[in-house]
């Protein structure tokens, strides 16, 4: 399905390269330690011609005048760095064509992916192209500064490989990208000349609203509807509230504003007016939700005429692509040019720093930025760390008891007695080259063993048996609480979608006895040979 490109006068920004600076968050497939920037490096002091324009008319040859400050001579050092550039073209004849053969038409009103009109200013002199410099770049967008980058595909040329190997992978990439466009995704390529290392090509992927809405409905993505007015407080919060003081372990409202809890239901396009935030389609889906929907499409798209060959993960494995990953929300440290404080910067300030180790984790923000799976992992990690505190206290008591009673322990006193140093000789530790040694040489080991393994160790062992059981039961309670707050109850049983790889190998369909929906079915006649082969391999090993 061909997608309509932006039309008329437009603005675009050259993107920036991936920064290999310290990255506190795990990257996706392929390259390591990618920071959240668009992977293209601009050339300074260069006026870039537009590369994305409306495809309905034809421009005449460019007559360009650059309105920018210049210094004396041929030096361009005082020209500001090009960030947000605006191009305006004079009216042209429909019969004219550009060097690439792309036809253009003169359009005064712009529209983004969500149907929002954008007015562009008019020039009194239509015979020139004007460049206006803006101090607010948008590195997470396409060159038109309106379409957000939802995913990145990267690949490199391999000159050490033969031509047949390279051609085969090039065909796979072209077939894959053609199918992505047919599914409604929009792609923009940055060649290797613009990359930081000079050899990587980047494909920027953007999902329009129609693709996002269809994908969210297909995977039954749960979206907020009505605010939940049920308020809950933990035991620690109630104890501090009795004394009229705030919980010192909580994160302040100024650092992470609290968000209202909403009831949710599976997204439906025909009932979009019932969902919170439907007025602004650009921010309706969070960045993690957009990446999830796009990744679902990337996993289910074929790269060969054989329908069993599908998924971007396989293309990364066979080196057709070097990496496939979503972007972070800019740098983790705030900059002067940042329009707002991003979720990533907030997480870096209130969660990733060591001095904040005693504070509660912003689980809702972690879930919003990384998704439910990562959010539940850190919820478990924090809960486990907290419950380790009583076990650590009892363990320290055990060590203190051992140190206090060390002088009264008779076996250690006998071993460490200086007068008996040569009285007790121990057998050699080996048969040929080892000699006899006095028992007194094991004095240090004997003392260390008693410090950690003394009479109190029995009590510590009994305590740990009860602690492990209590930890498991309390975590079950905490897990259900998180699942309720995040609307994950019954997700695995009712709303988990079928893997595209499984759907490809299934040759039959049948009705689900619970939902009465048509689902792929793998018959027993195909399972039995696999089970027999697996069982035979295990028995013969």
pLDDT mean over 131-138: 44
Contact present, 517 and 511 (Cβ < 8 Å): yes
How does residue 54 score in pLDDT terms, banded at 50, 70 and 90? Answer: very low
Position 383 pLDDT exceeds 90: yes
Determine the pLDDT at residue 496: 60
Contact present, 24 and 348 (Cβ < 8 Å): yes
**Tens-place pLDDT, residues 372-381:** 889 999 999 9
Helix, strand, or coil here: 198? coil
Determine the pLDDT at residue 33: 40
DSSP state at residue 273: G
DSSP state at residue 428: P
Position 363 pLDDT exceeds 80: yes
Determine the pLDDT at residue 423: 75
Determine the pLDDT at residue 185: 95
Locate the DSSP E strands across 195-333.
Answer: 200-206, 222-227, 262-266, 323-325
d(CA 385, CA 48): 53
Residues written for the chain: 541
- What interhelical angle do 372-404 and 443-452 show, nearest 10? 120
DSSP string, 8-57: SSEEEE---PPP-S--SS---BSSSS--BS-S--PPTT--PPP----SSB
Determine the pLDDT at residue 441: 84
pLDDT mean over 3-17: 41
Question: Looking at 106-120, 195-209, 349-363, which range is the least confident one?
Answer: 106-120
- C-alpha distances in Å from residue 269, one per residue of 21, 209, 220, 223, 288: 41, 11, 11, 11, 20
Helix, strand, or coil here: 364? helix
Closest by alpha carbon to 15, among 144, 135, 113, 118? 144
pLDDT mean over 93-100: 38
* 414 or 93, which is more confident: 414
**Does the reported pTM lie above 0.75?**
no
How does residue 401 score in pLDDT terms, banded at 50, 70 and 90? Answer: very high
* 491 or 164, which is more confident: 164
**Tens-place pLDDT, residues 200-249:** 999 999 999 999 999 999 988 889 888 877 766 666 766 767 777 777 78
Helices vs. strands in the chain: H and E counts, helices first = 13, 14
- Mean pLDDT (the chain) is 75
pLDDT mean over 467-494: 85
| 56 class by beta-carbon count within 10 Å (0-12 exposed, 13-18 middle, 19+ buried) | middle
- What interhelical angle do 287-300 and 209-218 show, nearest 10? 80
């Amino acid at each position: 399905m061909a997608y309509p490109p932006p039309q008329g006068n437009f603005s675009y920004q050259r993107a920036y390269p991936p920064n290999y600076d310290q990255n506190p968050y795990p990257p996706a497939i392929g390259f390591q330690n990618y920071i959240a920037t668009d992977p293209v490096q601009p050339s300074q002091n260069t006026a870039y011609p537009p590369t994305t324009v409306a495809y309905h008319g034809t421009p005449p040859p460019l007559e360009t005048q650059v309105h920018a400050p210049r210094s004396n001579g041929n030096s361009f050092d005082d020209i500001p760095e090009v960030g947000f550039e605006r191009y305006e073209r004079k009216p042209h004849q429909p019969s004219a064509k550009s060097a690439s053969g792309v036809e253009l038409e003169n359009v005064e009103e712009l529209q983004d992916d969500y149907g929002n009109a954008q007015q562009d200013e008019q020039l009194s002199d239509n015979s020139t192209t004007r460049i206006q410099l803006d101090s607010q770049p948008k590195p997470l967008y396409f060159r038109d500064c309106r379409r957000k980058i939802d995913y990145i595909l990267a690949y490199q040329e391999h000159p050490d490989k033969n031509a047949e190997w390279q051609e085969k992978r090039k065909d796979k990439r072209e077939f894959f990208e053609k199918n992505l466009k047919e599914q409604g995704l929009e792609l923009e390529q940055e060649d290797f000349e613009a990359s930081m290392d000079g050899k990587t090509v980047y494909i920027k992927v953007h999902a329009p609203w129609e693709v996002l809405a269809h994908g969210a409905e297909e995977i039954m993505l749960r979206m907020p509807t009505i605010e939940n007015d049920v308020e809950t407080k933990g035991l620690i919060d109630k104890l501090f509230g009795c004394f009229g003081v705030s919980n010192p372990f909580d994160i302040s409202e100024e650092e992470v504003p609290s968000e209202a809890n909403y009831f949710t239901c599976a997204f439906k396009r025909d009932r979009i007016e019932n969902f919170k935030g439907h007025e602004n389609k650009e921010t309706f889906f969070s960045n993690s939700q957009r990446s999830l929907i796009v990744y679902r499409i990337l996993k289910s798209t074929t790269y060969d005429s054989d329908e069993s060959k599908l998924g971007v993960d396989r293309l990364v494995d066979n080196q057709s692509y070097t990496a496939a990953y979503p972007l972070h929300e800019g740098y983790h440290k705030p900059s002067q040019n940042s329009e707002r404080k991003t979720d990533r910067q907030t997480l870096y300030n209130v969660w990733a720093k060591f001095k904040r180790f005693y504070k509660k984790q912003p689980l809702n923000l972690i879930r919003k930025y990384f998704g439910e799976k990562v959010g539940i992992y850190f919820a478990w990690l924090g809960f486990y760390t907290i419950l380790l505190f009583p076990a650590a206290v009892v363990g320290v008591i055990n060590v203190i008891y051992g140190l206090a009673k060390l002088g009264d322990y008779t076996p250690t006193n006998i071993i460490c007695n200086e007068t008996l140093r040569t009285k007790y000789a121990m057998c050699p530790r080996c048969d040929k080259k080892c000699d006899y040694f006095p028992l007194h040489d094991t004095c240090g080991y004997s003392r260390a063993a008693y410090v950690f393994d003394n009479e109190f160790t029995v009590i510590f062992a009994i305590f740990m048996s009860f602690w492990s059981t209590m930890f498991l039961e309390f975590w079950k309670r905490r897990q259900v609480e998180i699942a309720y707050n995040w609307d994950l109850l019954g997700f695995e049983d009712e709303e988990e979608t079928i893997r595209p790889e499984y759907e490809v190998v299934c040759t039959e369909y049948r009705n689900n006895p619970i939902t009465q929906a048509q689902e792929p079915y793998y018959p027993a006649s195909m399972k039995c040979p696999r089970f027999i082969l697996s069982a035979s391999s295990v028995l013969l090993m």
